[in-house]
């Protein structure tokens, strides 16, 4: 008996200690993951907007030489949109490096992109100085990571009366039914269980029966049968007396991902596009940030679900904005993505999904010339690592791996309109959001894809500089500038529209008499630039290729000078020549 | 001859009284516009609220004159916009003219009545930055606002403006004789340059370029000067993204955004009249089946084309429209936006066209003029300008030394800026008057709803049948066909209000209806249980409302 008491006391004392972190000596690293991070984050759960903000602050505080945190604007309800700038700050200003932009959660119920973004910032910062590849990456590139670009509605989804599919948009009141009153008929948590589930009613005229194996589930009966239940839709009542239930919800209907400024179309062509490009304040904040950071050369905007690596065109009408050469770059990135994230497919929006106007990726590609992907996160493939649509397999997953945590059991309820009904069914955190035990894996693989994409943004190198003495005090200087990655400094679409300025290759420290672009070095074909010959404008430096420029300067062979390359998306590179 | 002092005195007095309105001798600059607006406020404070919506990047105000009575924002509204093209000063004068005439007309019953029922929102000048170029020491047709941009997108900003090579205070054109030139002198008038054809030999050819130097040696002349984004290229309909003056994306400028936000908030506006380059009043836009065959609608819809035809007919009656003018739209334009994206009855006109000059009847006189076979507009304009005594319509070709063309003959000259788009100021008053008449008639044409044929029958003790017919008693549909497709215009709403002890057996408390055509009627009926007072209210913000109260006892 006494030993039992001692045992109990021991448990009481030890229990809190078990909750604190292990000491470093007790830890053995699992390969590929920082084992002793400065910031400890659980990547098996989701965070509200405030939760994400707290994590971002912790990361910035713990890594001041790598991460700066800034608010890029305010949401409709006045929350900050936080951006972490992640780079080795000792290697020059971030605007002079190729940038990679990541955001998540543009659709408020598509939440896990935010956790994936936090995971990316965390992994990069914690691996710097420990992993050679990541260290080099952060010297050369800068990551702009905005975990959520829809914090208001993220919270509304998590804490408010919503389903797995709502509110999708944001909190700006929209008069969906055009009756002059706003947001007056949303979902209602009738039974007060904190969830918006479904309503059903026993009926001899119904289309559904309860699954005998798992009575929580409803199965639709065959065409020629009668069931025992009617499905009545999501939990709610007719709040505004107009004969409809839940038709004018808060946060309905506009779609932040239809409001961007490339080929924007009005509501009757593209539902949800709102008033005009960037009339939605969160989008405006991101747009202003992107325009202020013309060094962004690659981008990712996370959605859910379906397991896809999406590129544009979003609208069929925009096929002309994707040339063969541009598509080849996307193909190379997309095909690598399919290898890194089994179960995810590389697809084109208008062709493989549906044609939409005014998407974020359309504006990044069409309006800024940035090679952009949107990943639709999580897919049923991840349940058993096979393409399964078998209902039994899905059942097995819920029952044996989630232990039916995804269901609320059916409860009786007295409805003012429908009478005696039952309320229950699947919860909103099931189906689109990664289950807890799959979150970190999915985050890591998607992060790896974005790191590959970021790695392939231009890397400009002044490959060689040769001199030729022309006599009479004149020197001919020839410089070869190369791009050692697959993404060009200008996409074809960028070149067609002159979205970004040209790349400038300059020589400094000497008097320049003439400057020219060498179109063919061997054949000595050159095109002279008469205006400011010391600063040669080059349209583009393609992926894995070089350009040659030449100056005739008044200098001796031992005169020092500097060659300088300024590219919006390729960064600034200099080479001093003695 | 001696004139009585009394007569002089009377004339002076009359002049003083109308001075605030028509003391104008010329198109107004920003300061004069502000003075005019202040004068109107002082005189007509009961009907007018003047405000500034915002300031442009260069610090000029966007004025808004709200004209009406009492709760102005609750009445159906018409917006009137001038200055969408910065070099079209006439647009400003027409918009201001309409405002001034409406306010002066409040002594007249019909106008006063109209302003009780309709509110007018007048934006006299929405390109204030660009308009300053008319009054500047260096005059040229400018549409760009004051926000400096890299117009030719070559990595340098404002590196190649025009230069006044002949020192006349204007930017016109240069012609350079060259065998590979694209232009030749027009046979009817050697001052005018027209495009060359294959038949024109090298000896008579010229290059035609904007007056100035090629400062950045890129082969283009004067392609990147001060500014800026064009107001009339910055809207979402067919936005020509990245083209000069259009902007990085639609509605990018402070002033376009402010106006868009204001208009979207004004659910009561049912029509917009734009004084600018786009035209659908002298001639209507036409429906073609290709307009709405694609997902993206590029032309007016069928029902709305009918309305355009009707209103264009009214305009031609009231404003004596010019024959042979064609309807036109412009990519990124404002008038286009008011219809295609804002869903209102959108109308536009430049307000004035150069009249067709007629060959004189007298043969001797006619012999002076060579035939203008291809109906060249410049030739026509010069002939009309001469006959109408328009001064300085043309700058004579004068040779200059041009550093970019050291061995060639370069002449500076050409059509003077502004004069082909803006008539001599003396004509403005009458033009403003005609366009005011049109605006008034359009206001009177508007859709209106009435609850008619009200019947109440007692079916039994405490059981009543109430019936009404809802009619559109106006001459326009309650909503345009395009506007009815999306949610920036409210549906027609009918509310049936009852006492607490009453309830409905049939019929709804709220009905929402789509657009009603002029004369269209809807039957409404309710079965009410319980005695009490009921009210029926019908309408929408942009149509107005009608209501009726019945005592069911």
Query: Is the pLDDT assigned to residue B10 strictly greater than 70?
Result: no
pLDDT at A17: 54
**Contact residues on chain A for B150, CB-CB shorter than 8 A:** 501
**What ipTM goes with this model?**
0.91
CB-based burial of residue B518 (10 Å sphere; 0-12 exposed, 13-18 middle, 19+ buried)? middle
**Contact residues on chain B for A367, CB-CB shorter than 8 A:** 241, 248-249
The distance of A317 to chain B (nearest Cα, Å) reads: 9
Q: Do B239 and A499 touch (CB under 8 A)?
A: no
Pair of tokens at residue A113? 């992109």
Query: Is the pLDDT assigned to residue A521 strictly greater than 90?
Result: no
Q: How confident is the model at residue B18 (pLDDT cuts 50, 70, 90)?
A: very low
In 3D space, the residue among A170, A171, A138 whose CA is nearest the CA of residue A67 turns out to be A138
Q: Do A264 and B154 touch (CB under 8 A)?
A: no
pLDDT at A184: 59
Element (H, E) at B546: strand B544-552
Element (H, E) at A496: helix A492-497
Query: Is the pLDDT assigned to residue A14 strictly greater than 90?
Result: no
Contact between B414 and B406 (Cβ < 8 Å): no
- Taking CA atoms, A569 is separated from A304, A456, A457, B80, in Å, by 29, 12, 8, 44
Sign of CA dihedral B69, B72, B77, B79: positive
User: Nearest chain B Cα to A261, which residue?
Assistant: B249
Chain B residues interacting with chain A (CB cutoff of 8 angstroms): 150, 153-155, 215-218, 236, 239, 241-242, 248-252, 257, 260-261, 264, 295-297, 340-341, 482, 485-491, 493, 508-510, 512, 540-541
Beta bridge partners of A467: A477
Query: Is the pLDDT assigned to residue B19 strictly greater than 70?
Result: no
Beta bridge partners of B189: B186
Interface mutation vs chain B, best among A261, A355, A517, A535, most B CBs within 10 Å:
A261
User: Using CA atoms, how far apart are residues A264 and A284, in angstroms rounded to an integer?
Assistant: 14
User: Nearest chain B Cα to A363, which residue?
Assistant: B249
**Contact residues on chain A for B488, CB-CB shorter than 8 A:** 267, 275
Q: Do A177 and B512 touch (CB under 8 A)?
A: yes
Is A238's Cβ below 8 Å from some Cβ in B? Answer: no
User: Using CA atoms, how far apart are residues A395 and A383, in angstroms rounded to an integer?
Assistant: 11
pLDDT at A95: 98
Nearest to B512 among A178, A279, A367 (CB): A178
**pLDDT 10s digits, A42-94:** 999 999 999 999 999 999 999 999 999 999 999 999 999 999 999 999 999 99
What fold is seen in the domain B449-552? Answer: Immunoglobulin-like (2.60.40)
pLDDT at B13: 44
Query: Is the pLDDT assigned to residue A471 strictly greater than 60?
Result: yes
Q: How confident is the model at residue A189 (pLDDT cuts 50, 70, 90)?
A: confident
CA dihedral B361, B362, B365, B369 (to 10 degrees): 30
Q: Do B250 and A277 touch (CB under 8 A)?
A: yes
**pLDDT 10s digits, B250-270:** 999 999 999 999 999 999 999
**pLDDT 10s digits, A198-248:** 888 988 888 888 888 777 788 888 888 888 898 888 888 776 656 667 766
Question: Running DSSP on this structure, what letter comes out for residue A539?
Answer: S
User: Using CA atoms, how far apart are residues B34 and A516, in angstroms rounded to an integer?
Assistant: 54
The distance of A324 to chain B (nearest Cα, Å) reads: 22
The distance of A400 to chain B (nearest Cα, Å) reads: 47
Q: What is the DSSP string of B413-455?
A: EEEPSSTTTS--GGGHHHHHHHHHHHHHHHHHHS--EEEEEEE
User: Using CA atoms, how far apart are residues A16 and A10, in angstroms rounded to an integer?
Assistant: 11
Contact between B56 and B254 (Cβ < 8 Å): yes
pLDDT at B71: 93
B483-502 average pLDDT score: 92
On average, the pLDDT of chain B sits at 93
The distance of B221 to chain A (nearest Cα, Å) reads: 14
Question: Running DSSP on this structure, what letter comes out for residue A401?
Answer: I
A329-346 average pLDDT score: 98
- Left if phi > 0, otherwise alpha if psi is -120 to 50, otherwise beta: which for B452? beta
* Residue predicted with more confidence, A377 or B4: A377
User: Using CA atoms, how far apart are residues B281 and B273, in angstroms rounded to an integer?
Assistant: 10
pLDDT at A554: 95
User: Using CA atoms, how far apart are residues B59 and A342, in angstroms rounded to an integer?
Assistant: 56
Q: How many other C-beta atoms can be found within 10 angstroms of the C-beta atom of residue B413?
A: 22
User: Using CA atoms, how far apart are residues B20 and B287, in angstroms rounded to an integer?
Assistant: 44
**Contact residues on chain B for A278, CB-CB shorter than 8 A:** 249, 251
Q: How confident is the model at residue B6 (pLDDT cuts 50, 70, 90)?
A: low
Query: Is the pLDDT assigned to residue B475 strictly greater than 90?
Result: yes
Q: How confident is the model at residue A196 (pLDDT cuts 50, 70, 90)?
A: confident
User: Using CA atoms, how far apart are residues A107 and B153, in angstroms rounded to an integer?
Assistant: 34
Q: Do A265 and B509 touch (CB under 8 A)?
A: no
Contact between B474 and B311 (Cβ < 8 Å): no
Nearest to B487 among A178, A243, A531 (CB): A178
Taking every pair of Cα atoms in chain B, the longest distance, rounded to a whole number of angstroms, is 105
B404-430 average pLDDT score: 94
Query: Is the pLDDT assigned to residue A191 strictly greater than 70?
Result: yes
Q: Do A268 and B154 touch (CB under 8 A)?
A: no
Question: Running DSSP on this structure, what letter comes out for residue B60?
Answer: -
pLDDT at A240: 65
A282-301 average pLDDT score: 98
> Residue with structure tokens 């009453």?
B502
pLDDT at A190: 85
User: Using CA atoms, how far apart are residues B272 and B343, in angstroms rounded to an integer?
Assistant: 10
Is A275's Cβ below 8 Å from some Cβ in B? Answer: yes
pTM score of the predicted model: 0.91
Q: How confident is the model at residue A7 (pLDDT cuts 50, 70, 90)?
A: low
Question: Which range (A182-191, A409-418, A472-481) has the least confidence?
Answer: A182-191
B402-427 average pLDDT score: 94
Query: Is the pLDDT assigned to residue A10 strictly greater than 70?
Result: no
> Residue with structure tokens 């001041």?
A64
Pair of tokens at residue B217? 């040696």
**pLDDT 10s digits, B138-151:** 999 999 999 999 88
Pair of tokens at residue A455? 């790695």
User: Using CA atoms, how far apart are residues A570 and A564, in angstroms rounded to an integer?
Assistant: 12
Percent of chain A with pLDDT over 70: 93
Q: Do B218 and A176 touch (CB under 8 A)?
A: no
A472-479 average pLDDT score: 95
The distance of B545 to chain A (nearest Cα, Å) reads: 13
Interface mutation vs chain A, best among B74, B155, B491, most A CBs within 10 Å:
B155
Q: Do A501 and B242 touch (CB under 8 A)?
A: no
User: Using CA atoms, how far apart are residues B285 and B304, in angstroms rounded to an integer?
Assistant: 9
Going through A287-406 in order, the beta strands assigned E by DSSP cover: 296-304, 308-311, 345-348, 371-377
Contact between A197 and A427 (Cβ < 8 Å): yes
Question: Running DSSP on this structure, what letter comes out for residue A302?
Answer: E
Q: How many other C-beta atoms can be found within 10 angstroms of the C-beta atom of residue B9?
A: 10
The distance of B512 to chain A (nearest Cα, Å) reads: 7
- Do the domains B7-133+228-352+423-445 and B449-552 sit in the same CATH topology, yes or no? no
Percent of chain A with pLDDT over 90: 72
Query: Is the pLDDT assigned to residue B91 strictly greater than 80?
Result: yes
**pLDDT 10s digits, B130-180:** 999 999 999 999 999 999 998 889 888 888 899 999 999 999 999 999 999
Q: Do B249 and A278 touch (CB under 8 A)?
A: yes
At the second CATH level, the architecture of B7-133+228-352+423-445 is: 3-Layer(aba) Sandwich (3.40)
Contact between B291 and B297 (Cβ < 8 Å): yes
pLDDT at A193: 81
Nearest to A178 among B296, B340, B490 (CB): B490
CA dihedral A112, A118, A122, A125 (to 10 degrees): 140
Beta bridge partners of B174: B209, B412
A484-508 average pLDDT score: 97
Beta bridge partners of A549: A479, A517
**Contact residues on chain A for B482, CB-CB shorter than 8 A:** 268
User: Using CA atoms, how far apart are residues B116 and A126, in angstroms rounded to an integer?
Assistant: 70
Is A501's Cβ below 8 Å from some Cβ in B? Answer: yes
Q: How confident is the model at residue B1 (pLDDT cuts 50, 70, 90)?
A: very low
Is A539's Cβ below 8 Å from some Cβ in B? Answer: no
Interface mutation vs chain B, best among A498, A531, A567, most B CBs within 10 Å:
A531
Taking every pair of Cα atoms in chain A, the longest distance, rounded to a whole number of angstroms, is 106
pLDDT at A2: 59
In chain B the first and final C-alpha atoms are separated, in Å, by: 83
B505-533 average pLDDT score: 95
Query: Is the pLDDT assigned to residue B25 strictly greater than 60?
Result: yes
pLDDT at B16: 43
Query: Is the pLDDT assigned to residue B89 strictly greater than 70?
Result: yes
Contact between A214 and A233 (Cβ < 8 Å): no
Q: Do B508 and A242 touch (CB under 8 A)?
A: yes
- Taking CA atoms, B118 is separated from B269, B348, B399, B450, B452, in Å, by 9, 20, 57, 16, 22
pLDDT at B428: 96
Interface mutation vs chain B, best among A173, A252, A254, A277, most B CBs within 10 Å:
A277
User: Using CA atoms, how far apart are residues B111 and B102, in angstroms rounded to an integer?
Assistant: 7
pLDDT at A169: 75
CB-based burial of residue B499 (10 Å sphere; 0-12 exposed, 13-18 middle, 19+ buried)? middle
Contact between A337 and A250 (Cβ < 8 Å): no
Contact between B143 and B151 (Cβ < 8 Å): no
* Residue predicted with more confidence, B157 or B546: B546
B357-362 average pLDDT score: 90
pLDDT at A542: 97
Listed in sequence order, the DSSP H helices in B273-333 are: 302-319
Q: How confident is the model at residue A251 (pLDDT cuts 50, 70, 90)?
A: very low
Q: Do B249 and A497 touch (CB under 8 A)?
A: no
Pair of tokens at residue B119? 């509110």
User: Nearest chain A Cα to B504, which residue?
Assistant: A241
User: Using CA atoms, how far apart are residues A124 and A140, in angstroms rounded to an integer?
Assistant: 13
User: Using CA atoms, how far apart are residues A154 and A167, in angstroms rounded to an integer?
Assistant: 8
User: Using CA atoms, how far apart are residues B17 and A575, in angstroms rounded to an integer?
Assistant: 76
pLDDT at A247: 64
B463-488 average pLDDT score: 95
Is A276's Cβ below 8 Å from some Cβ in B? Answer: yes
Q: Where are the domains of chain B?
A: 7-133+228-352+423-445, 150-225+355-420, 449-552
pLDDT at B17: 43
Q: What is the DSSP string of A199-213?
A: EEEE-TT-SEEE-SS
Query: Is the pLDDT assigned to residue A280 strictly greater than 70?
Result: yes
**Contact residues on chain A for B493, CB-CB shorter than 8 A:** 179-180
Q: How many other C-beta atoms can be found within 10 angstroms of the C-beta atom of residue A452?
A: 16
């Amino acid at each position: 008996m006494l030993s039992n008491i001692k045992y109990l006391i021991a448990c009481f004392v030890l229990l809190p200690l078990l909750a604190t972190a292990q000491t470093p000596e007790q830890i053995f690293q699992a390969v590929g993951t920082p084992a002793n991070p400065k910031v400890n984050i659980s990547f098996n759960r989701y965070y509200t907007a405030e939760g994400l903000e707290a994590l971002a602050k912790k990361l910035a505080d713990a890594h001041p030489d790598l991460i700066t945190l800034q608010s890029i604007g305010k949401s409709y309800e006045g929350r900050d949109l936080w951006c972490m700038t992640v780079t080795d700050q000792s290697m020059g200003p971030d605007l002079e490096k190729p940038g990679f932009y990541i955001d998540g959660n543009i659709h408020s119920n598509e939440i896990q992109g935010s956790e994936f973004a936090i995971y990316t910032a965390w992994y990069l910062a914690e691996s710097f100085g420990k992993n050679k590849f990541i260290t080099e990456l952060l010297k050369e590139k800068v990551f702009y990571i905005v975990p959520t670009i829809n914090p208001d509605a993220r919270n509304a989804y998590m804490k408010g009366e919503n389903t797995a599919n709502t509110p999708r948009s944001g909190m700006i009141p929209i008069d969906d039914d055009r009756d002059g009153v706003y947001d007056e008929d949303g979902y209602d948590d009738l039974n007060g269980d904190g969830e918006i589930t479904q309503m059903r009613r026993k009926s001899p005229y119904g289309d559904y029966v309860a699954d005998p194996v798992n009575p929580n589930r409803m199965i639709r009966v065959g065409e020629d049968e009668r069931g025992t239940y009617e499905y009545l839709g999501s939990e709610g009542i007719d709040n505004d007396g107009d004969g409809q239930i839940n038709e004018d919800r808060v946060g309905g209907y506009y779609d932040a991902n239809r409001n961007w400024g490339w080929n924007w179309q009005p509501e009757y062509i593209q539902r949800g596009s709102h008033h005009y490009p960037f009339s939605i304040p969160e989008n405006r904040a991101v747009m202003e940030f992107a325009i202020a950071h013309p060094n962004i050369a690659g981008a990712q905007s996370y959605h859910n679900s379906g397991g896809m690596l999406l590129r544009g065109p979003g609208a069929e009408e925009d096929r002309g904005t994707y040339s063969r050469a541009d598509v080849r770059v996307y193909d190379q990135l997309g095909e690598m993505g399919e290898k890194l994230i089994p179960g995810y497919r590389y697809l084109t929006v208008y062709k493989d999904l549906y044609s939409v106007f005014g998407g974020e990726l359309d504006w990044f590609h069409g309006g800024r010339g940035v090679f952009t992907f949107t990943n639709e996160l999580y897919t049923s493939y991840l349940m058993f690592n096979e393409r399964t649509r078998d209902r039994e397999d899905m059942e097995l997953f819920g029952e044996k791996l989630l232990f039916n945590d995804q269901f609320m059991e059916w409860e009786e309820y007295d409805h003012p309109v429908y009478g005696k009904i039952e309320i229950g069914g699947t919860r909103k955190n099931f189906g689109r959001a990664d289950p807890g035990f799959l979150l970190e894996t999915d985050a890591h693989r998607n992060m790896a894809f974005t790191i590959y994409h970021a790695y392939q943004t231009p890397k400009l190198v002044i490959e060689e500089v040769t001199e030729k003495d022309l006599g009479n005090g004149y020197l001919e200087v020839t410089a070869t500038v190369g791009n050692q990655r697959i993404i060009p400094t200008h996409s074809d679409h960028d070149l067609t529209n002159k979205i970004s300025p040209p790349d400038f290759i300059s020589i400094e420290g000497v008097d320049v008499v003439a400057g020219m672009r060498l179109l063919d070095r061997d054949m000595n074909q050159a095109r002279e630039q008469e205006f400011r010959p010391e600063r040669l404008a080059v349209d583009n430096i393609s992926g894995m290729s070089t350009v040659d420029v030449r100056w005739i300067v008044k200098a001796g062979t031992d005169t020092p000078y500097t060659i300088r390359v300024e590219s919006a998306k390729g960064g600034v590179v200099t080479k001093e020549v003695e | 001859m001696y004139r009585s002092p009394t007569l002089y005195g009377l004339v002076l007095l009359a002049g003083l009284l109308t001075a605030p309105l028509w003391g104008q001798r010329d198109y107004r600059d920003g300061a004069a516009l502000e003075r005019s607006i202040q004068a109107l406020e002082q005189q007509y404070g009961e009907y007018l609220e003047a405000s500034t919506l915002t300031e442009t990047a260069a610090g000029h105000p966007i004025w808004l004159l709200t004209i009406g009575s009492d709760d102005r924002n609750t009445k159906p509204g018409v917006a009137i916009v001038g200055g969408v093209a910065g070099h079209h000063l006439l647009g400003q004068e027409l918009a201001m003219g309409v405002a001034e005439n409406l306010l002066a007309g409040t002594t007249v019953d019909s106008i006063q009545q109209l302003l009780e029922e309709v509110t007018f929102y007048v934006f006299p000048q929405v390109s204030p930055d660009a308009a300053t170029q008319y009054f500047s020491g260096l005059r040229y047709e400018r549409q760009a606002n004051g926000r400096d941009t890299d117009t030719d997108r070559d990595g340098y900003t404002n590196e190649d403006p025009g230069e006044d090579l002949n020192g006349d205070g204007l930017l016109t054109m240069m012609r350079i004789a060259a065998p590979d030139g694209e232009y030749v002198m027009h046979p009817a008038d050697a001052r005018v340059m027209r495009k060359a054809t294959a038949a024109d030999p090298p000896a008579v050819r010229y290059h035609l370029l904007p007056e100035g130097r090629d400062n950045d040696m890129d082969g283009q002349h004067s392609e990147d000067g001060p500014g800026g984004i064009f107001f009339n290229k910055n809207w979402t309909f067919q936005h020509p993204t990245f083209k000069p003056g259009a902007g990085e994306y639609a509605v990018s400028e402070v002033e376009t955004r402010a106006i868009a936000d204001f208009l979207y908030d004004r659910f009561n506006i049912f029509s917009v009249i734009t004084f600018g380059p786009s035209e659908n009043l002298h001639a209507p836009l036409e429906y073609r089946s290709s307009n709405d065959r694609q997902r993206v609608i590029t032309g007016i819809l069928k029902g709305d084309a009918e309305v355009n035809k009707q209103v264009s007919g009214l305009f031609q009656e009231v404003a004596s429209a010019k024959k042979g003018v064609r309807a036109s739209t412009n990519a990124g334009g404002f008038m286009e936006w008011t219809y295609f994206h804002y869903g209102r009855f959108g109308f536009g006109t430049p307000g004035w066209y150069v009249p067709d000059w007629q060959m004189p009847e007298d043969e001797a006189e006619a012999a002076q003029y060579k035939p203008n076979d291809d109906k060249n507009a410049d030739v026509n304009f010069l002939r009309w300008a001469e006959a109408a005594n328009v001064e300085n319509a043309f700058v004579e070709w004068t040779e200059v030394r041009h550093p970019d063309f050291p061995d060639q003959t370069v002449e500076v000259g050409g059509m003077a800026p502004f004069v082909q788009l803006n008539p001599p100021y003396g004509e403005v008053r009458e033009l403003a008057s005609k366009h005011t008449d049109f605006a008034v008639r359009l206001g009177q044409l508007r859709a209106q709803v009435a609850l008619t044929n009200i019947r109440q029958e007692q079916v039994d003790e405490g059981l009543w049948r109430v019936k009404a017919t809802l009619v559109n008693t106006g001459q326009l549909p309650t909503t345009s066909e395009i506007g009815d497709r999306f949610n920036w215009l409210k549906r027609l709403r009918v509310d049936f209000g009852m006492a607490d002890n009453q309830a409905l057996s049939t019929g709804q408390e709220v009905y929402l209806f789509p657009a009603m055509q002029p004369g269209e009627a809807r039957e409404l009926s309710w079965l009410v249980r319980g005695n009490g007072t009921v009210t029926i209210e019908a309408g929408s913000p942009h149509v107005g409302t009608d209501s009726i109260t019945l005592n069911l006892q």
